[in-house]
Structure 1
Amino acid sequence: MTPSTGTVQQQTNAAKWWHRLDDGRIQCDLCPRNCRLRDGQRGFCFVRLREDDHMVLDTYGRSSGFCLDPIEKKPLAHFHPGTPVLSFGTAGCNLGCKYCQNWEISTSRQFDTLAAEAGPDVIAEAAENWGARSVAFTYNDPVIFAEYAIDVARACRARRIEPVAVTAGYISDDARAEFFAPMAAANVDLKGFTDDFYRRVTGGRLATVLDTLTYLVHETEVWTEITTLVIPGHNDSDEELARMCAWITRELGPDVPLHFSAFHPDNRMLDVAPTPPSTLRRARQIGTDAGLHFVYTGNVHDRDADTTWCPGCGAALIVRDWYQIIDYRLTSDGCCPDCGLSIPGRFDREPGDFGRHRIPINI
């Protein structure tokens, strides 16, 4: 690929991670779908396609919009709390979640969805000018626009802005290391804990996501948190939640933060009721009972479940109300001031004060 400098018009859209097959097709190797394409055909994600004898990415440098968010909205609770993050996505997705709450973007087949154009250096400069501590690839999965995300991440790193991947983790072994190499943090969407749920509701496979989580936690320095959208009647049984939390504790460790978020009816799951707050409280208790030190809830108002508690002495260390930091008691080196326990994460001497607002921006 050509260097990622200058305007969008100077960017290449040549894709990586593919190879030619003996039958004349080419195979995309970016994710486990391994889409096999003849000339002019698009992969499942819709944004990676074959032109002549090559694979291209036709959303490089094109975004569905930019917004300043609180970092807690990603959600990341242990990554520079209270700071603003510049968020953006493109179009398409390599999963087909029936409940997708950004389905207008992730299932888009109309490229007028992509309202903004910006090259990597432009995005990094905008983040710096707007005072963002980080840039998040979100709204749709950055795996499918990996070349663009990697180039933006590198441009951000050059300006000391930290790249964040909000992802379902559905990526091949071949691409995983290169994709996550420039990332500072990731929130991985662990959508359920049965392969049946993944196949039936998302069109993916559970094992790939577990491999991604294991890789991130044990083989990289990427700060990693997990989110599970709890869907009534689909992935909310005590047995499934207990097995998932036990796996996280055993395979990843008790200090990986876990966020249980409330579902609301959307896309092709309009017949499913919203998640009751009591279900999230139950899920949080199951996680705590499994030995996880940091279990949060999302999409509901629960101040206790938004708060970071010290697993050593039980002190409230970061008190949040929605995305607003109410109290911040960590020491300058990220420890509990009462018992001295070091709290895992990426913390600053003082929290940010961005608050809970969301600011759409043009760059």
Structure 2
Amino acid sequence: MSAPTICPVCPHHCRLAPGETGICQARTNRKGYIVPSGYGVLASMALDPIEKKPLARFMPGSNILSIGFYGCNMRCPFCQNYTISQRAPKQNTRRVSPREVLADAADLKRTRGNIGVAYTYNEPLTNYEYVRDTAHLIHEAGMVNVLVTNGQCTDAVLSELLPDLDAVNVDLKGFRPEIYRACGGDLETTKHFIARTAAHCHVEVTTLIVPGLNDDPDDMAKEAAWLADVNPDLTLHLTRYFPMYRAVKPPTPIPTLNALKAVAEAHLSHVLLGNV
């Protein structure tokens, strides 16, 4: 039997024997090469307002063609998109080539003012080769690329994508390593991702506030101060949690969100609430 191959995409570095699939459920060892299990298999495709990504300060008022795959390299028990991120959909998917996405994006640009493509809904970096190939075509056509991600990827992967990225929203789960361990990720990897992308393109950050997990004011002060050091003009979205997937706690109280917003605003000029 062939020796396992190490997946190079994220900090898990899954060791996969031929035929095995990584914890993201989206990358497989095929004859000694780690490849996307479903290159171009889309679980979602829609024209969305840019504010839904969420991006509040990048081409506001515009629409963007949003596509999503399946799989994720984290296991957040409160995942808001678990139906496609935590399992491979058994139906309602279709295979779409990068050139077909380009054609759809260009058609929507003519008819509905589309500005480009957003890679979103699940964790798109588990299928980063498809993102890379599509994003390059979109840029060549004079449109923009938006990435919505948890930031759990290696420098090598990010280096391939950065030249074609125009805006990124990064999901920052919290500001303590134990929060990331509980979700199957690594805090320092996401911090590094934020710092590196913010030096290249427009970046906004989203933190879903889950009661009892990441709603401590001291943690929020540290998070906001760190983000301000990266870029004091950076936008932070504090989003209200609702019970989804395996989480059963009641929704985040509105007063909690307002209090954390005030804490973050001591460091950042742009702090917005979502899902309220």
TM-score calculated relative to the size of structure 1: 0.73
- The answer on 1:275 being equivalent to 2:256 is no
Cα distance in 1 for residues equivalent to 2:247 and 2:32: 39
Aligned pairs for 1:1-363 (under 5 A) are 24-113=3-92, 115-131=93-109, 132-200=114-182, 202-218=183-199, 220=200, 222-250=201-229, 252-270=230-248, 272-290=249-267, 292-300=268-276
Tell which deviates more after alignment, 71-80 or 52-61: 52-61
Cα distance in 2 for residues equivalent to 1:83 and 1:287: 27
Q: Comparing both structures, which one devotes a greater share of its residues to helix?
A: 2
The answer for the alignment partner of 1:10 in structure 2 is none
Please state whether the residue corresponding to 1:66 is helix, strand or coil. strand
Cα distance in 1 for residues equivalent to 2:164 and 2:85: 24
Cα distance in 2 for residues equivalent to 1:130 and 1:203: 37
Per-residue deviation, residues 137-188 of structure 1 (Å, max 9, x unmatched): 1111111000000111111112211010000000012222112321111000
Per-residue deviation, residues 66-120 of structure 1 (Å, max 9, x unmatched): 111100010101111000011111111111111101101001134435x222111
Contact 1:124 1:161 in 2 (8 A): no
Per-residue deviation, residues 269-327 of structure 1 (Å, max 9, x unmatched): 12x1101222221111111112x111111111xxxxxxxxxxxxxxxxxxxxxxxxxxx
For 1:135, the aligned partner's letter is V
Q: 1:81 to 1:110 in 2, by over 3 A?
A: closer
Per-residue deviation, residues 241-269 of structure 1 (Å, max 9, x unmatched): 1111111112x121011110000000011
Which consecutive residues of structure 2, in runs of 5 or more, have no partner in the other structure? none
Tell which deviates more after alignment, 49-58 or 253-262: 49-58
Please state whether the residue corresponding to 1:92 is helix, strand or coil. coil
In our comparison, the structure showing a higher alpha carbon Rg is 1
Contact 1:45 1:94 in 2 (8 A): yes
After TM superposition, the runs of 4+ consecutive aligned structure 1 residues lying more than 4 A away are none
Q: 1:228 to 1:280 in 2, by over 3 A?
A: same
Per-residue deviation, residues 23-51 of structure 1 (Å, max 9, x unmatched): 81110011110000111111111111112
Q: 1:216 to 1:63 in 2, by over 3 A?
A: same
Percent of aligned positions that are identical: 36
For 2:5, the aligned partner's letter is I
* Distance apart, 1:125 and its partner CA: 1.6
Per-residue deviation, residues 187-215 of structure 1 (Å, max 9, x unmatched): 00011000001101x11110000010111
